Amino acid sequence: MLFPTIDFAIFFAVAFVASWLFNPYPTFWKLAIIALSYFFYGWWDWRFVFLLLAATVVSHFGALGAARRGSSPRAAKASLVASVVALLCILGYFKYYGFFAVNVDNVLHGMGAGRIFPLVQPTLPVAISFFTFMAISYVVDVYRGRIDTARPVDLAVYLCFFPHLIAGPIVRGEELLPQIRRRRDPAEVDFSRAVWMIMAGLFKKVVISSYVSTAIVQPVFSAPGAHSAPEVIFAAWGYAVQIYCDFSGYTDIAIGLALLLGVRFPVNFDAPYTARNLQDFWRRWHITLSRWLRDYLYIPLGGNRGSDLLVVRNIMLTMVLGGLWHGANWTFVIWGALHGTGQAVGHLRRKSRVSRGLPAVAEGTLRSTWQRFWTFQFVCLGWVFFNASSFSNATAMLGRLFTGWGNASPLITPLLIITIIGVIEVQFLPANMLERAQRFFSEQRAFVQAGLLGVVLLAITTLGPTGVAPFIYYRF
The vertex-60 CA angle with 314 and 123, nearest 5°, equals: 70
CA dihedral (130, 254, 280, 395) in degrees, to 10, reads 60
Q: CA–CA separation, 263 vs 30, rounded Å?
A: 13
CA-derived radius of gyration, the chain: 23
Q: Are the C-beta atoms of 201 and 256 separated by less than 8 Å? A: yes
Q: CA–CA separation, 264 vs 255, rounded Å?
A: 7
Q: CA–CA separation, 235 vs 411, rounded Å?
A: 9
Q: CA–CA separation, 387 vs 476, rounded Å?
A: 13
8-state DSSP, 429: S
Q: Helix, strand, or coil here: 412?
A: coil
Q: CA–CA separation, 390 vs 394, rounded Å?
A: 6
Q: Which residues contact 136 (CB under 8 A, 6 or more apart)?
A: 59, 84, 87, 88, 296
* Residue among 275, 238, 196, 250 at smallest CA distance from 434: 196
| 326 catalytically annotated | yes
182: alpha, beta or left? (left if phi > 0; alpha if psi -120 to 50): beta
Environment class of 244 (CB within 10 Å of its CB; exposed 0-12, middle 13-18, buried 19+): buried
Q: Are the C-beta atoms of 464 and 207 separated by less than 8 Å? A: yes
Environment class of 368 (CB within 10 Å of its CB; exposed 0-12, middle 13-18, buried 19+): middle
* Residue among 318, 320, 312 at smallest CA distance from 336: 320
* Residue among 67, 96, 248 at smallest CA distance from 168: 248
Q: Are the C-beta atoms of 34 and 180 separated by less than 8 Å? A: no
SS3 content of the chain, % helix, strand, coil (to 5): 75, 0, 25
Query: Active-site residue among 60, 164, 286, 326?
Result: 326
Q: Are the C-beta atoms of 174 and 147 separated by less than 8 Å? A: yes
**Amino acid identity at 10:** I
Q: CA–CA separation, 220 vs 396, rounded Å?
A: 10
Q: Which amino acids are annotated catalytic? A: 326
